[in-house]
Structure 1
Amino acid sequence: MKNLKIIIRSLLRQRLFTVLNFLGLSIGLICVFILLAWIYNETGYDKFNDNYADIYQINFKNQKGEMSMAGTPNPLAPIIENDIANVKLAVRLRNAPEFAFKYKENMYFEENGLTADPQLFQMFSFRTLYGNPVKALEQINGIVITESFAKRYFGNEDPLDKEIQIEGRDFVAVKAVIRDLPAQSHIQFDYVLPQKLLEQYRFCGLDWGDPNFRTYVLLTPGSNAANAEEEITSVAKSSGMPHLQSGEIFASLRPLGSIYLDYTVNNRLGETGDFRYLYIFGSVALLILMLACINFVNLTVSMFAKRQKSTSVAKVCGASRKTVFLNHVSENAVLVIFSFIFALAVFRFIRQPFQTMVGKTFEVNFLSTDFTSILMIILLFTLLLCTVYPALLFSGAKAIDLMNRYSKRKSGVLKSMVVFQNVIAVLLIIAAVGVNKQMQYINHKKLGFETDQVVYTHLRGNINQKISVVRHLLNENPNITDISLKDCPPFKQVNGTVGISWKQNGEWQNQKTSHPVGMETTRIDDHYLAMMNVEFSDGRNFSKEISTDKQNYIVNEEAARLMGLENPVGTEFSLYGNKGVIVGVIKDTYFKSLHQKVNPQVFHLYNNEASESYFSALFFKIKKDIPATIKYIENIWRENNPGIPFEFHFLNQDYEELYKKDNQIAGILNLFTMLAVFIACLGLFGQAAISSENKIKEIGIRKVNGANITEILTMLNRDFVKWVGIAFVIATPVAYYVMNKWLENFAYKTTLSWWIFASAGALALGMALLTVSFQSWKAATRNPVESLRYE
């Protein structure tokens, strides 16, 4: 206790040094705790499942190990469950449409639903509250709901066997209620409908050539996954799956633990993470921790001149090197431990705002063995970095050297640490500028079609049967300049298939081939492409005046390229055996996220809009007075579709949502870059103050001998400018490499212009000069008489 009081008095005597070190280290540790908590959460997905080690998702890869296809065809799961001994269970999952559910007066649009086989609740550890979810999905009119879903519709009523109406049409009975899914589940849903219901309504292609599902398998414990891959490939190939006939595509089992973080595959069943962000933010956490520790060491060592006399006196009086070493270690350790405790307390308060910023809730159990171990490692690492080197420097000097101004010997290690500190700051600034440039590129890139002032709604209930009447009524409003119809919003996909063929050199291609070409297929009306202002590179748009266009097709440039057609217009084309002619080719248009390349796309007309447009998207181009026009549309909806509430979406807002996570990541990086730069500036401020104080007599002598303020400022700032310059040279190639790796995440990306690096270097230099100049100016303008009298 006595030693602690002595340490605290010593720290209080050096208030500026103590505050700067405490503040810099605390901010650094807070950043580290936040980032590590986020990483800890991201790596914990799906571990709640009892069968965690034996569950796999089926994907398909080529011989190079590259992802060829994430989806699986409908018939695959039941066949491999029956024919492969090591496959204990197999289940098919697919996102359900955004249905409207109604019970009595309660009606809501439910965006988060699945269709699935009963095996879902045998394979995954979702906790059941009431009923039997397996038996529920064995019935075509059964439904499994979550606890939150039940409260929305039934309140305190017993939900079992209650009937819910879907889309004002069919009824399903609640046969089981489960607890809300854990946040750390890559599969997310509020309800599950039977696979049998999907097959009855055929929301998508269900044949071997239509990879529209996610298939999971549970292997028997101890099974060899590689052997199971070979068996699944063999069974699927012999069953006629066209993608596998070449022998160059094979099934791949992706472990449950890697699904969430594998950015190469959009699982489409919940949020997808990205393991590269773990590396990015793990590196940022490490860099900030090192920056804070180096800052601490630099300030401590910079205080050497003020403390060397007291140290020399102690040594002359008989203090051993070990005693001096332990004294300095203890003093710095107390400051480190106080900073650690303070940072941990602050982290607990600011965790919620950070969760809001990243758009994700995550819990951290501070008492868990894993997290406690991580904290202890961080504390030990920080203690070693912040205490050992300064203590060795102080204890290793001889008493006579300390009395003779030993501190003026320039330390190469100290210079290296200062440069490394600036390298970290410059690196983070370059990364932040580069990331923001990419986000600006994404947010302002022309997609090739119009999204502004376009509103859409889904045709639900029975309104699709009155679509011609609704069109007529909507056209009477002068603010609605155009109306069009598509089977889904442009950024989504209803169906993908290899069930296509085209005629080339008198022969039909893509039939019984070992390398079938797959394409995204979508229904539209004759207004859609014109309304979206999509450009044609060849041919024409569909026309309602040409009756044969209902059998014809339009493709994009990527589809024409894959087919190897130089002049595709006029080429005979077939989809599921329905033959027609390609009448137009649109330019490749960025309907999906810029993270992925443009898909090959085939467009075809509705044969009968009234019967085929159920749940399609109806688009409106609104010229002005959007609120009043939407109210007009809503009134028409209510008149023609009573009982189904009207909902609408702005297309441009939906596209902004596609990049919400990227913008959040950019925001996080900006925040931590600013904090890192602030920590670096604290260190520079402290070093400038100590450097100015150490040179106070030299400055006075120079001024007496005629030196002006500019010369004094140059002398004091020269080293800081040199350190930033060296740091910039080192950081630039490292940042260039890191940014190139990050940009590989995007199929379409900005260029790393020279000005990104130049502006980052200028910003780092400007911040350094701004920070040190205050202290330099005070020293340069001091009265030389006071300077020479100062001791």
Structure 2
Amino acid sequence: MKPNLKPPAWINSLIDSFAPSWLAEEIQGDLYELFVKDILTDNIQSARRRYVVNGLGFLFKNFFWKRSPSQKTATMFSTHFKMARRSLAAQKGNALINILGLVTGIAATLIILTVVRFERSFDAAHSNVDDIYRVVRVSGNDMSEFRTGISYPVPVAMKAEIPALKNMAAMEYFGGANLDILNASGTTAKRFREESGCVLVEPSFFTLFDYGHGGIAWLAGNPDKALVEPFSVVLTKSAAKKYFGDENPIGQSIRFQKQHDAKVTGVIEDFPANTDFPFTVLVSYSTLTKLAGNGINEWVGVSDSHQVFIQLAPGITKEAMEAQIAKVHAAHTPKELHESRHYLLQALRDVHYDPRFGNFSGRTITRETILALQLVALFLLLTGSINYVNLSTAQSTLRAKEIGLRKVMGSNRKTLVFQFLTETFVIVLTADILALALSEALLPLLQPILNLKLNRLNFTDPGILFISLGIVVGVTLVSGFYPAWTISRFHPVRALKNSFATERLGGMSLRKVLVVFQFTLTQILVVGTFIVVSQMRFFQNVDMGFTREAIITARVPDRSAEGLKLLEDQLRAQAFVSDVSFSYTLPSGVNRNRSYSDIGPPESKEMKDYTVYEYVSIDPSYLGLYNIKLLSGRNLTLADSMQNILLNRNLSKTLNLGTPEEAVGKQLKMNGHLVTVVGIVDNYYSNSLKEGFDNIVMVAEPKSFSTVSIKLRAGEHANLPEAVQAIEQLWKKNFPDHVLSYQFFDENIKAFYAQENKYAQLFQLFSLVFLLIGCLGLYGLITFVVNRKGKEVAIRKVLGANVSQILLMFSREYVQLVALSFILAVPVAYYVVNNWLSNFAYHIPLSWWHFATPGLVVLLIALLIVSTKSARTANANPVDKLKYE
């Protein structure tokens, strides 16, 4: 019997099954050659065994042959990344400029988007956020007065008469308070003065506002009973720690305003940073009946700090609920009141974004501002991408031979595009990682400016990481595709000969367009920022109609005539005190008392006959201390009481009293009584410059004095720390049970524009970022141009050109581009800033120099960069460039 000289067929079947068709025959051929050699040197059985071993070994070594395309893809990726690394290493300068531009742009973008995400997250986590509304008050026949206050009986009537209400929470925010921590014997152990965070709330507050995730965590106390009884208090965790340390706060006593004792019945987790309910001390709403007395049934009187939030039942629309509230209000009030006062609903999602009504946190941001920030972020990414496009297309001729060789060796256009996109991806990914780290390092420094309170790092925030990944993909495609497509289309023969110049590509004209676009964006922001800063300076320097420097203000705890007189005499005896005045409120500022009433002609009978005014009770020193100008008549004395009054010019004009001189001596009807005008004072800004002049009535009512104003003397005694220390000592002497809480009057006024100032600083920062990115791109382009035209410059110098002519040659084109960008930027900037300024009743007039000044600055910076880089080439010895030709 003949021996079987064929290899095992089942091995060939395995190779046919697992190896690629284009490789199986070659594998089997190699194995058969080894099989024949084994037969010649050994016996057939040994040869067949070795054939099996070699075949199986080959298959195990190269397992999953069917997946070879993915292996091929992995190899291709590895090759592309290796080539990208080598290419970037060979062009370190360009790579560094691109990375710096992208790092700057992406880091600023991440910071902006962190701000936007924080602002948009305010009170968005509540389970029923889309069904929760705040009841607001809009008054006047023209619906021009926007308020948040709701009369005390309104929520009670709504609960009783509107069955469609699913839930309601009324609250009275009294902000600051004197808090005394009592020990077991009832004596004061600690004293605190809180400037904010104190509120009266209904128990339903915690079911209406649950902050998601099961609601605010209760650390101690019963959520259902803690705020039921009057004078019950729930503290946040940080407040409890502040007042009681490590002691158990439950059952402890707190005395409010030196008068009312309350018992701690619960402790909750601190409210999140992204809420417009920044409460720390929550008192039971039922306490209001004990504090307000008969005012709890007052339908006409209203306090803006008393607010109501409701949740609509399914199927009930906002408009239907407003109609039902109007019906309830009309059933309990006179016709003239409910026809001029309208209770409307404001969605909870709008509370943080509507400055007309404000909120408990005292900070709002308009949706237009958020949109502006998002556009800035988008444009920052675009400017960084533009830098990459410009430099990549500008450098394309330096890689012409490389592209030609790749095409000759078989690379197709798709492969080349992928190669250059890989290079872009490496740069963008590197920049993104560095930008993420940079933004993380900068955010703690910027949080005071941005008014942020972030609880976790960007590296651990899934939202930011997702945005960061999106930026990598987006910027890679936007900035990398055009250069990759342009470079990959080079003809191999012309590329190898290097017989074309950049100008013959479509890229040169595109680079001009992109440079213009980039600097147009930069100049829009720079011009806008310049005008915003000018408006902020206008706020700080405008004559508001009173003196605001070197004045300390504080609330006085003792309103008795004897106590105020004693404090005044002691203060006036101090060398550093120039003047002292007591009043109900301050001329202006965020932190001041506000009270409004009605005044009209003596014959006034109906509501339409009256004009709303702001009540200001003053002593005789008030006008002199604040330097408020008396236009006619006389100042008030303490003997005038409520019979004689002062009006400001605006109210006198509104009441048609004639000139300031003619108004003196006329009678008016105020609070149902006739009063006589004894003087007219000049207008002053009692509110921010966003609003116009208010109507003001000044009276001399000592029992309402609640604020002391202390004017410090300038000159040799103007040692501020010593003055404040001396005032604190006098305060302790006169009011040993009260903590002095003072404020400088000018700081109080600056608080009007705190939000605008923060965003002005923010836009200044981003203007610098835009300039930096633009300048990096310009530096990269001029570097390339200078290097490419080195021999041309040398020849020009040999032929007689001087340095200034060469500098002009380099700078002419860029000056034209920057000038064109300025022309395009001006109308856009004018439209934007003019709309922004229209939000203010008083603002700077726009002049040509508001636009020309920042435009000239940008042009000079661009010229400086171009000139600095090109000056070295212009001053170089032409022999060094020509001797090797």
Confirm or deny a common fold (TM above 0.5): yes
Residues 743-774 of structure 1 show CA distances to partners (whole Å, capped at 9, x for unaligned) of 23333211222112111111111111111112
**What is the aligned partner in structure 2 of residue 439 from structure 1?**
536
Unaligned runs of 5+ in 2: 1-77, 182-187, 211-215
The residue type equivalent to 1:32 in the other structure is T
Bigger drift between 216-225 and 66-75 goes to 66-75
* Mean Cα deviation higher: 73-82 or 397-406: 397-406
Pairing 1:494–2:593 present: yes
Q: Secondary structure at the match of 2:599?
A: strand
Which range moves more in the overlay, 550-559 or 668-677?
Answer: 550-559
| Residue 241 of structure 1, CA deviation | 6.7
- The residue number in structure 2 matching 1:44 is 121
Instruction: Tell me how far apart the structure 2 counterparts of residues 65 and 694 of structure 1 sit (CA, whole Å).
Output: 68
By how many angstroms is 1:472 displaced?
Answer: 3.5
Amino acid at match of 1:111: E
Instruction: Tell me which residue corresponds to 2:395.
Output: 303
- AA aligned to 1:691 is V
Residue matched to 2:88: 11
Partner of 2:200: 115
Pair 79,583 (structure 1): closer, same or farther in 2 beyond 3 Å: farther
Q: Which moved more, 1:460-469 or 1:109-118?
A: 460-469
Q: 1:253 aligns with which of 345, 358, 371?
A: 345
Q: Work out the CA distance in 1 between the residues paired with 2:663 and 2:335.
A: 24
Residues 712-791 of structure 1: pairs in structure 2 closer than 5 A = 712-789=806-883
Could you tell me which amino acid in structure 2 is paired with residue 2 of structure 1?
A: T
Q: What's 1:234 paired with?
A: 327
Partner residue of 2:152?
A: 74
CA 1:685–1:481: 2 relative to 1, 3 Å:
closer
1:425 paired residue among 508, 514, 522? 522
- 2:470 pairs, out of 377, 381, 395, with 377
2:219 match: secondary structure:
strand
Closer, same or farther in 2 for the Cα pair 1:601/1:266, shift >3 Å?
A: farther
Question: Structure 1 residue 272: deviation in Å?
Answer: 2.5
2:224 paired with 1:127: no
Quote how far apart the aligned CAs of 1:382 are: 0.7
Deviation of residue 437 (structure 1)? 0.8
1:210·1:495 contact (CA, 8 Å) conserved in 2?
Answer: no
Aligned to 2:246, what secondary structure does the other structure show? coil
Secondary structure at the counterpart of residue 656 of structure 1: helix
Cross-structure match for 1:503:
601
State the 1:463 CA deviation: 6.9
Determine which of 773, 777, 784 is the counterpart of 1:679: 773
Q: Tell me which moved more, 21-30 or 74-83.
A: 74-83
Distance 1:267 1:241, change over 3 A: farther
Counterpart Cα distance in 1 of 2:158 and 2:88? 70
Residues 364-513 of structure 1 aligned to structure 2 (within 5 Å): 370-402=463-495, 403-409=498-504, 411-460=508-557, 466-489=563-586, 490-491=588-589, 492=591, 494-497=593-596, 499-504=597-602, 507-509=603-605, 511-513=606-608
Partner of 2:107: 30
Shift of 1:76: 1.8
Which residue in 2 is equivalent to 1:335?
427
**Aligned twin of 1:647:** 741
Does residue 666 of the first structure (1) align with residue 751 of the second (2)? Answer: no
Contact 1:167/1:644 (<8 A) preserved:
no
Shift of 1:581: 2.4
* Stretches of structure 1 lacking an aligned partner (at least 5 in a row): none
- Amino acid across the alignment from 2:604: W
Mark the CA change 1:637 to 1:363 in structure 2 (over 3 Å): closer, same or farther: closer
Q: Which letter does structure 2 place at the counterpart of 1:327?
A: Q
2:93, 2:229 → 1: CA distance?
73
Q: 1:84 maps to which residue? A: 162
| Counterpart secondary structure, 2:604 | strand
By how many angstroms is 1:322 displaced?
Answer: 1.6
State the percentage of identical aligned residues: 27
Go from structure 1 to structure 2 and tell me whether the alpha carbon gap of 1:348 and 1:222 turns closer, same or farther (over 3 Å shift).
farther
**What residue number does 1:272 align with?**
364
Secondary structure of the structure 2 residue equivalent to 1:174: strand
CA contact (8 A) 1:60 1:250 kept: yes
2:707 to 617, 642, 655: 617
CA-to-aligned-CA distance 1:719-743 (integer Å, 9 cap, x gap) = 1111101101001111111111222
Comparing both chains, which one has the higher relative contact order based on Cα–Cα distances under 8 Å and sequence gaps of 6 or more? 1
Q: Does 1:167 align with 2:257?
A: yes
What is the rounded CA distance, in whole Å, between the counterparts of 1:560 and 1:322 in structure 2? 80
Q: State whether residues 482 and 621 of structure 1, in contact with CA within 8 Å, keep that contact through their aligned partners in structure 2.
A: yes
SS of 1:585's partner is strand
Q: What secondary structure is seen at the aligned counterpart in 2 of 1:252?
A: strand
Instruction: Tell me the equivalent position of 1:221.
Output: 314
Q: 2:699 aligns with which of 599, 604, 609?
A: 604
Deviations 1:258-277 (A, max 9, x none): 10122232224543333332
* d(CA) in 1 for partners of 2:840, 2:607: 34
Q: Which moved more, 1:192-201 or 1:267-276?
A: 192-201
SS in 2 for 1:339: helix
Distance 1:630 1:330, change over 3 A: closer
Counterparts of 1:521 and 1:95 in 2: how far apart (Å)?
21
Q: Residue 33 of structure 2 corresponds to which residue in structure 1?
A: none
Residue identity opposite 2:136 in structure 1:
N
Larger radius of gyration between Structure 1 and Structure 2: 2
Identify the residue that residue 185 of structure 1 maps to in structure 2.
275
Distance 1:560 1:133, change over 3 A: farther
The one-character-per-residue Cα deviations of 1:392-431 (angstroms, maximum 9, x if unpaired) are 1112232344332142326322211111111122112112
The separation in 2 between residues aligned to 1:350 and 1:100, in whole angstroms, is 37
**Residue 16 of structure 1 aligns to which amino acid in structure 2?**
G
- Contact 1:696–1:788 (CA under 8 A) maintained in structure 2: no
Q: Distance in 2 between matches of 1:769 and 1:299?
A: 19
The 5-angstrom pairing of residues 279-294 of structure 1 reads 279-294=371-386
CA, structure 1 residues 196+502, in 2 after alignment: closer, same or farther (shift >3 Å)? farther
Retained in 2: the 8 A contact 1:242–1:512? no
Whole-angstrom CA distance in 1 between matches of 2:335 and 2:884: 88
1:705 CA drift (Å): 1.8
Q: Which residue of 2 aligns with 1:540?
A: 634
Worse-superposed segment, 102-111 or 557-566: 557-566
How many Å apart are 1:484 and its aligned residue? Answer: 1.5
| Residue in 2 that maps onto 1:531 | 625
Residues 320, 100 of structure 1: CA spacing in aligned structure 2 closer, same or farther, 3 A cutoff? same
Aligned to 1:142: 232
The offset of 1:49, in angstroms, is 2.1
The DSSP-based 3-state class of the residue aligned with 1:644 is coil
2:731 to 630, 634, 637: 637
Equivalenced residues, count: 778
3-state secondary structure, aligned to 2:690: coil
Of 712-721 and 364-373, the range deviating more from structure 2: 364-373
1:384 is paired with a residue of what secondary structure?
helix
Aligned 8 A contact 1:167 1:461 in 2: no
Q: Distance in 1 between matches of 2:336 and 2:137?
A: 9
Is 2:526–2:854's contact at 8 Å kept on the other side of the alignment? yes
Q: Is the 8 A contact 2:388 2:480 kept in 1?
A: no
Contact residue 143 and residue 173 of structure 1 kept, 8 A: yes
Distance in 1, matches of 2:103 and 2:334, equals 59
Is 1:106 the equivalent of 2:204?
A: no
Is residue 697–residue 790 contact of structure 1 (8 Å, CA) maintained in 2? no
The structure-2 alpha-carbon separation of the partners of 1:529 and 1:257, relative to structure 1 and needing over 3 Å to count, comes to same
